[in-house]
Structure 1
Amino acid sequence: MSRRTVVPVLLVLVVAAGIGLAVFQPWKAFTDTTVNEALPTVSAPAQRKDEAGTKGGAAPTGLAEGRFVSHEHDTSGTARTVRLADGGQVLRLEHLKTSEGPDVRVYLSTQEADAAKKGLGNGAVALGKLKGNLGNQNYTVPAGTDLSKFHSAVIWCERFSVSFGAADLAQVTG
């Protein structure tokens, strides 16, 4: 090969490698991010004051919960929806263990966990980027969201449109 051919080929390979690294982020297969947040007692950012003027309130109330099942990546742990004393709602992921990946997000889905493997379904609500692939974490549910319409919590990779795993949310009784 002549130099006129080698230089452009090398440039194309370098650009392709750069794009591949940016899109696939292969190093994430070898890294973990652990997050251990406490369950909030009231919604952020403001804490409510009771009639005596002190911050605090009743304990959070569990609404629904379920265990994660694996889809495209091994995923385990528990998802819980919780109503806080001030009326705010959070999705809490406990003992989560999944893979890191590019652009991984947390959703509430109208689909059941098995069906979420193929897609989030109409009306899914994005709760934010996955904070870490290990541990305990909280995601604020937007005000006015009717949690009874959602059947699962899903760990979803936006970049590749795949579910890492999902948990059916069954109503807590008693």
Structure 2
Amino acid sequence: MTQHQTPASPDFSAPHPPPDDDSPPHDPSPVDPTRRRRPRRSLLVAIAVVGTALLVAALVLFEPWRLITRSTVDEAAPAASQVLGEGRFVDAEHATSGTARIVELADGSRSLRLEGFSTSDGPDVDVWLTDQPAGGDWHSYDDGVHVSLGDLKGTDGNQNYAIPAGVDLSRLTSVVIWCDRFDVAFGTAPIRIA
């Protein structure tokens, strides 16, 4: 009688030997190639949005085009005026030149006259009378008494600014071209009322 042998069943509980080659184990789950790119794409979009916002903020705050823009205002000198005091501009944060004169008109009103004036353009630039000495620290002019005469009319030319009635000129010693946005003087001129 012939005895029939059945082959032994494989033992699935035993550990499998590692493959002979160095290939990584096969992951049977499907891989979506766009899924791995999404975090990177989101990061790039976020960086682009933040970068654009910072650029816009810098343009609004600094107004860099003003470094190359100029404007000329040529107003006639007030008629029948008496000079109460005058001084020449000295540079501060920006090159500034010309003469500042405080004049009194026939009707008793007073005015500041800038003649042969030239400075740089900038954001939020005003004309001030202050009690600080001309040629001082660029940031000091808003520390004491100051009187704003309004926005600077132009970077160049001859300009008149009305001085409000009741301003005590004996306490004020300088004319300042002041950039209010950055708290710096563009230029200053000494004025001493006799």
| 1:20 to partner: Cα distance | 0.2
Matched, 1:94 2:147: no
- CA deviations on 1:77-96 (whole Å, 9 max, x unpaired) are 00000001111111111111
1:116–1:166 contact (8 Å) kept in structure 2: no
1:112–1:168 contact (8 Å) kept in structure 2: yes
Matched, 1:40 2:78: yes
Normalising to structure 1: TM-score of the pair? 0.85
Quote the residue 1:24 is aligned against: 62
1:36–1:137 contact (8 Å) kept in structure 2: yes
Supply the distance in 2 between the matched residues of 1:26 and 1:118 (Cα, whole angstroms). 21
Number of residues of Structure 1 aligned to a counterpart in Structure 2: 155
**Pairing partner for 2:144 from 122, 129, 135:** 122
| Structure label with greater radius of gyration | 2
- CA deviations on 1:12-61 (whole Å, 9 max, x unpaired) are 111111110001000000110110011233xxxxxxxxxxxxxxxxx111
Matched, 1:6 2:33: no
1:109–1:116 contact (8 Å) kept in structure 2: no
Unaligned runs of 5+ in 1: 42-58
* SS across alignment from 1:81: strand
Quote the residue 2:162 is aligned against: 140
Unaligned runs of 5+ in 2: 1-38
* Bigger relative contact order, structure 1 or 2 (CA pairs below 8 A, ≥6 apart): 1
| 1:125 to partner: Cα distance | 0.4
Root-mean-square deviation (CA, aligned residues, Å) is: 1.4
Letter in 2 for 1:134: D
Supply the distance in 2 between the matched residues of 1:90 and 1:40 (Cα, whole angstroms). 8
Larger strand proportion of the pair: 1
| 1:171 to partner: Cα distance | 4.1
Task: State the identity as a percent.
Answer: 48
- Structure 1 window deviating more from structure 2 (116-125 vs 155-164): it is 116-125
Supply the distance in 1 between the matched residues of 2:51 and 2:75 (Cα, whole angstroms). 43
1:83–1:89 contact (8 Å) kept in structure 2: yes
Quote the residue 1:70 is aligned against: 91
Normalising to structure 2: TM-score of the pair? 0.76
